[in-house]
Amino acid sequence: SQQGEEDPQALSIQEGENATMNCSYKTSINNLQWYRQNSGRGLVHLILIRSNEREKHSGRLRVTLDTSKKSSSLLITASRAADTASYFCATADPFPNDYKLSFGAGTTVTVRA
Amino acid sequence: EAQVTQNPRYLITVTGKKLTVTCSQNMNHEYMSWYRQDPGLGLRQIYYSMNVEVTDKGDVPEGYKVSRKEKRNFPLILESPSPNQTSLYFCASSFWGGAHNEQFFGPGTRLTVL
């Protein structure tokens, strides 16, 4: 199965700044999801964007999807110390393999006070 | 409270000693899966289950077994653990359709095999 690749691997920003990270994948997808993981803990779902959607918002989060470029971006606006975490994209292949979710290696975000 | 629980949270064992990591969810989810997380490799799916008595291999199933006798439980079994199975393990569940929906993750089990 395919695996998304996040870029950059690590990101350090000042509190209040925006953070942008990207995810690229190899084959067509059914949907793409973003998750957050605080150090060593379970992943928490942030946003799911379907292949026929181009942009989605949730609070300070904005996700875009460009299926022609096979890429997605996650923007966190007005970052806070609590946003310090690793962020993962996950892709679901189209039917009939849409029961499998493949994760990338993640982007580690550090928000400095 | 809706949640996925895993036990134990931490485990140190020796090569070859059979162990089971339990996973339970209270959300009536049909889909459950196991992942392992290793530095630089992200999460890799071990096994998943679409429903009771329906399981299938993920990307890294070697050395693991699972069973799904009840909807809420999905234990991960290591019959003969080896040091390369030292990892952080996560159980996850979701409503029908698996990857169509958000996954709810457990807190993780950190396993060390000596």
pLDDT of residue B97: 67
- Residues (pLDDT < 50) of chain A are none
pLDDT of residue B40: 82
- Residues (pLDDT < 50) of chain B are none
Interchain proximity A33–B103, CB inside 8 Å: yes
Q: What whole-number distance in Å separates Cα of residue A43 and Cα of residue A86?
A: 9
A40: which residues sit within 8 A by CB, 6+ positions away? B88, B108, B110
Show residues of chain A in contact with B31, CB under 8 Å. Answer: 99
pLDDT of residue A102: 87
CA-nearest residue to B50 within chain A is A99
CA-nearest residue to B90 within chain A is A42
Q: Does B106 touch chain A (CB under 8 A)?
A: yes
Beta bridge partners of B4: B25
Q: What whole-number distance in Å separates Cα of residue A5 and Cα of residue A55?
A: 19
Å from A42 to nearest chain B CA?
A: 5
Q: Do B103 and B27 contact (CB within 8 A), yes or no?
A: no
Q: Does B35 touch chain A (CB under 8 A)?
A: yes
Q: Which residue has the tokens 């996650």?
A: A74
pLDDT of residue B99: 72
Question: In one letter, which amino acid is A43?
Answer: L
Q: How many CB atoms lie within 10 A of CB B2?
A: 10
pLDDT of residue A1: 52
CA A12 vs CA A35, A60, A112: distances in Å: 18, 18, 7
